[in-house]
A = this chain, B = another copy of it.
């Protein structure tokens, strides 16, 4: 179980490989990579601000919650901050478990909860200048699903 908040890019393949290296109890690894969308060169870069300290604390709490809900063998959250361009990776969530049902559920839970709980804010650069991205009701709805009957 680990959490990393960093300015640098990450290598999803290396991280996924590390989760299974030298072990034979992992039957399923699920992963989610989130990327910046936007036409290249249209100026739609963004800057991710975060709350150092609280971010790591919240991500660890989210991971602990997932570990309590599903039988996980390992999990990893990496989230970048700073200026990012279209096509850049933002976030990686990866989960290892004996079975795929737990691995899928936990991975989706982690990104859903992260989206509504981890203190990150996106400042988008657009043709009309910078603006702070507003939170989506849809994200709240997706996170809320996990509070209903499991």
List the interface of chain A (C-beta within 8 A of B).
Answer: 11-14, 16-17, 20, 22-40, 86-87, 98, 100-101, 103-104, 107-108, 111, 142
Contacts and interface: CB of A to CB of B under 8 A. Distances in A.
B100 A32 contact: yes
30 contacts: A11-B13, A13-B13, A13-B16, A13-B17, A16-B31, A16-B33, A20-B33, A20-B35, A22-B87, A24-B35, A24-B37, A24-B38, A24-B39, A24-B87, A26-B37, A27-B35, A27-B37, A28-B35, A29-B33, A30-B31, A30-B32, A30-B33, A31-B31, A32-B100, A32-B103, A37-B98, A100-B111, A101-B142, A104-B104, A104-B107
Contacts of A28: 32-35
A13 B31 CA distance: 11
Which secondary structure characterizes the binding site on chain A?
mixed
Contacts of A12: 13, 16-17, 29
